[in-house]
A = this chain, B = another copy of it.
Amino acid sequence: MALKFMTADEAASLVKNGDNVGCSGFTHAGCPKVVPGAIAKKAEEEHAKGNPFKINIFTGASTGDKLDGVLTRAKAINFRAPYQTNKDMRNAINNGEIKYCDLHLSTMAQDIRYGFYGKINVAIIEACDITEDGEIVPTCAVGISPTVSRLADIVIVELNRWNPKELRGMHDIPEPKDPTHRESLPIYGVQDRAGTPYIKIDPSKIVVVETNEPNEGNAFAPVDEITTKIGENVANFFVTEMEEGRMPKSFLPIQSGVGNIANAVLAAMGDNPNIPNFNVYTEVIQDAVIELMESGRVKFASGCSLTVSNPCIEHIYKNLDFFKEKILLRPSEYSNNPEIVRRLGIIAINTAIEADIYGNINSTHIMGTKMMNGIGGSGDFTRGAYVSIFVTPSVAKDGKISSFVPLVSHADHSEHSVKIIVSEYGVADLRGKCPVERAREIINKCAHPDYRPLLTEYLENAPIGQTHFDPYNAFAFHQAFMETGDMRNATIKKR
């Protein structure tokens, strides 16, 4: 049967107030780019008439401004999960306008299937190709597209001609059965495939909107002296681990988070001659991975998205034969799956907003209140990792904020799951250490020297137990920042 084509406005008219809408995309990569704008316009029209119009948005991770941004500014979003990075959306979340549920990314698709969020009414999926029998080939990301496409009553496909049809083959798209019928997820190496190269659904529920929209591929902040040093510390740690026999000399697959520190770590690994060529099993494949792929240092990269700058994606598109042999894009349920993470023995490297002296990590909240982005996949990878690493510069805001505090203002990863912390000053190895030993290790190896005496004073002054913890001083650093704008002014109250 012939596919139904329509305009973005016509497609937007299919979306109703209160709908649960599942979208493609994982970061800006692979997101729909015109229908959300048409929905935003419709929302504004309804609001002008005094009618309510808000929808609930489910995606793989964050999306681009053409989705989260435009819908936020139109006040068209009631609920959002599981991750976001858009400035306007962040503000709306933090002032209570949008209800945001911050989830481990690997769980989003299954929790939708389990019925925890109600029915998915509409899916909006960016594709580079579609067939009349309902084969949808995603663009630069997979996310939760297989699940929301299958479950939705209406599937709006943005057929984005900016992306070549020849991407077909770069994706592997399985969907697991649910308990009690789930089987092993059959990924035993980074290159393994478990599904089809496309999403296949009933074509009668598809409507197609043709577009030709470039990616929103902005580069991250460049690598600087601090991030370079962090990267070198991580790379040197790996070399020591191999020398000591605690890591296979053939090495293990790498997961690295998103941003410039992740790029610096990958660059340092690439530069270190004692680290063999390696594989990547991660959620977001960044520019640095592509560069290392071309130099031969990265052998293969499996991820949920190709989140690269526009010059980089254009380069990939011009050399698809080369890259299709080295890149595989999977649903977030597979890219981030703890079963696969643990089986493959992935080395997880994620960025902390702040860490406390015991190794608990804040990945989400600035000063305990303001949501930054979300936990993303950091929990999926950290918990199952062969060795879990968190990286952070020792200070922020010209030294006024210490990344190492007596107690994190929001705990996303507990001390039980965090093995290694790295700053530009060094590597804190928390394995086999009790809390007080961990505290001394983190203070002496990772904290900025300006803060070491204060942190030690907190530790020595606090009521003892397995953990030295003082409810009167635990947030002395945060209070000093709120009162004076500088954590160095913290005072530890004597007991």
Contacts and interface: CB of A to CB of B under 8 A. Distances in A.
Interface of A: 79, 81, 93-96, 99-104, 111, 114-117, 178-180, 182-184, 186, 188-189, 244-246, 248, 250, 252-253, 338-339, 342-345, 360, 365-371, 375, 379, 383-384, 386-387, 408-417, 419, 431-434, 436-437, 462-469, 471-472, 474-475, 478-479, 482
Copies in the complex: 2
Contact of A471 (B116, B338, B412, B479): B479
Given A184-B186, A365-B465, A432 B116 contact: yes
A59 to B, nearest CB: 15
Contact of A431 (B116, B339, B342): B116
Nearest to A471: B475
Contacts of A180: 189, 248, 250, 252-253, 344-345
A377 B468 CA distance: 24
A379 B417 contact: yes
A116 to B, nearest CB: 5
B409 A416 contact: no
Contact of A244 (B115, B252, B366, B409): B115
Contact of A465 (B94, B387, B408): B94
A469 B370 CA distance: 9
Contact of A369 (B339, B360, B383, B468): B468
A466 B365 contact: yes
Give the most central of A244, A370, A416, A417: most B CB within 10 Å. Answer: A416
A331 B85 CA distance: 42
Give the most central of A100, A343, A414, A463: most B CB within 10 Å. Answer: A414
Nearest to A183: B188
Contact of A339 (B101, B339, B416): B339
Contacts of A183: 188, 343
A182 B479 CA distance: 48
A338 B343 contact: no
Nearest to A469: B368
B416 A184 contact: no
B414 A414 contact: yes
A345 B475 contact: no
Nearest to A114: B246
A184 B184 contact: yes
29 contacts: A79-B432, A79-B434, A99-B433, A99-B437, A102-B415, A104-B383, A114-B246, A116-B246, A116-B419, A117-B431, A179-B248, A180-B253, A184-B184, A365-B467, A365-B469, A367-B471, A368-B465, A369-B462, A369-B464, A370-B465, A375-B414, A375-B416, A379-B383, A379-B414, A379-B416, A379-B417, A414-B414, A471-B479, A472-B475
A339 to B, nearest CB: 4
Nearest to A482: B471
